[in-house]
Amino acid sequence: MRFIVVFTFLFGVCYGDTKTWQQDVNFGNPTNWDKGRVPCASDSIKFPESVSVVFMQTNSTLKEILLPLNGALVLDNNVRIAFTDDSSVQPECTGEEQTFIADTPESWYNPGNWVGANGPVAVDTESVPCQYDQVVFPTEKLFSVGVDLSTTVGTVSFAGENFVSTMAFSSFLSSPSGQQQFSVSNNPTILLQNSQCNDLTGCVCGNDVEPSRTKICGFKSTCPALACRNAPIPVGGCCPVCGAIVTMEYNPQTFNYESVKTGIESKFGLGPSAQSSNSARRKRQADSDVTMYMSKTNEGKIQMVFTDSNGGSSSGQAAIRLALEVEDDIAQNLDSYGVTSVSMKSSEKGTGGLSGGGVSNGGIAGIIIAVIVIICFVSTVIFLTMRRNSLSWKDEPLHADSDIEMSQGLPPGFMQEIPNPTFDSAMRGFDNPMYTTTTKENIYADPAEVKVNTSGDEKKAAYVVEEKGAINGPKWEEDEDIKAFSNPMSADVMEESNA
Ligand SMILES: *[C@@H]1O[C@H](CO)[C@@H](O)[C@H](O)[C@H]1NC(C)=O
């Protein structure tokens, strides 16, 4: 086992994984629309009332757009929205009504919202960033993230900005941009410990404890149907998996997490080191891809989850064959691995059909109750929506041909409920840009220059809200033939529109 000694020196310290957030609120992301495609020129688009922020990165031409009463449409630099009624502008666009469906914050704790850089994470609670992980929110996007439970991570990179301290990240969260993109409830703390795992025997993820575990598994309440039988659930997992789970106990004096992991990966042709080897991998060419995910469990044991990409009745079978080899190898070399015991659980060969994941006998009753509850809820929502519509949606939506019109009326007393708007000079997004200013010169001004009178003059302080509520729309629209607006940060639109 000489290679283990070598790897001990090379990988004496293990770093966390990198977990990247998968969701965004970009206008140009097809999955954010109910028709599954980005709107084209003859489409009428609608942002539901629940939308809080949408990011527009590219120029768009649309037929009409229905904006929410509250919420921000954030335009990237030099981005312009134009309106047209002429279907020949984009003949291939058939013209549909499209609704923006990324309208509620996506939960930080939903394991489906993250992807790990070191390959698939086979343990559900570990799909969500662990205590030493680097969290990445990609650049060129805006996000709508729901956080309602405290958590600890290593570092956070948010749209290119790196945060290494809890204080820096929480002050970002309370900035306008942070508030716009993070919907925070229950006073959670996102603790950034900016340190790596210093335990040579490995570190636990930290999510397999209450209340995180219940929270995370709540997103997996329906497990996928499996093609194998008696599938085991990994420690820290929410759903069973076809394949095998090898569990080891170790000697803390001699066990080295990274060297064992890398050693097994290399010896059996798994993971990133597989390219550089070897006969083991070639031998397995006939098998489908087997993936091994290793981690330290909450109980302080080392768990290796073997899965494969086989479907049907052979699902998990290749993984089990390989896991048996690995278990055998460890059992014969306990001392050199620093392991004191090793055991294995595995699924059984299926019949070829899919067995329902996790629907037990009691589950049926639960489903029936859930359906009844959903029906009640939906009919309540429909009832309330219809009542509300009859009150407030009096006019036509914003339309290319007509003057741009505000489509909502406000219930009485609404203005009083809205606090003095706190536009901040650092705020890059802005409330519905058509309504942030009253005078023509300011329409396309940098939002940093949008002045809200906070001197105490109540009438002026509330003018933003008043304009929103004005049934006939803001005055500036009435005498201008405005057919487009663009990022207020670039001020050259007026000439173009008038040209
Ligand atoms: C949008 O259109 C304007 C004018 O038509 C152009 O100057 C600008 O570069 C375009 N922006 C993008 C992001 O393509």
- What's the CA-to-centroid distance between 59 and ligand 1, angstroms? 6
* HEC-encoded secondary structure of 144-206: CEEECCCEEECEEEECCEEECCHHHHHHHHCCHHHHHHEEECCCCCEEECCCCECCCCCCECC
Residue 416 has which token pair? 């009083």
Atom of ligand 1 nearest to the CA of 59: 1
Per-residue model confidence (pLDDT) at position 88:
86
80 lines ligand 1 (CB under 6 A): yes
pLDDT in tens, 88-126: 888 899 889 999 999 999 999 999 999 999 888 999 999
For the chain, the domains span: 4-23+106-214, 30-99, 223-358, 419-499
- C-alpha neighbours within 13 Å on the C-beta side of residue 479: 4
468 lines ligand 1 (CB under 6 A): no
Residue scoring higher pLDDT (91 or 331): 331
78 lines ligand 1 (CB under 6 A): yes
CATH 3.30.1490 for domain 223-358: no
- What's the CA-to-centroid distance between 303 and ligand 1, angstroms? 53
- Best probe residue, ligand 1, of 57, 61, 62, 79 (max atoms within 8 Å of C-beta): 79
Atom of ligand 1 nearest to the CA of 76: 13
- What's the CA-to-centroid distance between 486 and ligand 1, angstroms? 9
pTM over 0.75: no
Please name which of 167, 1, 180, 172 lies closest in space to residue 74, comparing C-alpha atoms: 180
- What's the CA-to-centroid distance between 157 and ligand 1, angstroms? 29
- What's the CA-to-centroid distance between 80 and ligand 1, angstroms? 7
215 lines ligand 1 (CB under 6 A): no
- Is pLDDT of 401 > 60? no
Average pLDDT value for residue range 429-435: 45
- What's the CA-to-centroid distance between 60 and ligand 1, angstroms? 10
Per-residue model confidence (pLDDT) at position 498:
40
Please name which of 238, 291, 231 lies closest in space to residue 124, comparing C-alpha atoms: 238
**Any idea which residue has 């809205």 for tokens?**
418
Average pLDDT value for residue range 216-236: 94
59 lines ligand 1 (CB under 6 A): yes
Mean pLDDT of the chain: 76
Ligand 1 atom 9, closest CA? 78
Atom of ligand 1 nearest to the CA of 80: 1
465 lines ligand 1 (CB under 6 A): no
70 lines ligand 1 (CB under 6 A): no
58 lines ligand 1 (CB under 6 A): yes
For residue 175, what are the CA distances in angstroms to 146, 150, 188, 400?
16, 19, 16, 35
Per mean pLDDT, which range of 73-77, 207-211, 343-347 is the poorest? 73-77
- What's the CA-to-centroid distance between 58 and ligand 1, angstroms? 8
Atom of ligand 1 nearest to the CA of 57: 13
79 lines ligand 1 (CB under 6 A): yes
Question: For 456, which DSSP code?
Answer: S
- Best probe residue, ligand 1, of 55, 56, 77, 80 (max atoms within 8 Å of C-beta): 80
Encode burial over 87-122: b for 16+ CB neighbours within 10 A, e otherwise. Answer: eeeeeebeebebbbebbebbbbbbbebbebeeeebb
- Is pLDDT of 492 > 50? no
Per-residue model confidence (pLDDT) at position 196:
87
309 lines ligand 1 (CB under 6 A): no
pLDDT in tens, 3-23: 444 343 344 344 679 999 999
77 lines ligand 1 (CB under 6 A): no
- What's the CA-to-centroid distance between 57 and ligand 1, angstroms? 10
- Best probe residue, ligand 1, of 78, 84, 490, 492 (max atoms within 8 Å of C-beta): 78
Per-residue model confidence (pLDDT) at position 310:
87
Per-residue model confidence (pLDDT) at position 457:
36
- For the ranges 81-95, 269-283, 426-440, the maximum mean pLDDT occurs at 81-95
**Any idea which residue has 């010169």 for tokens?**
441
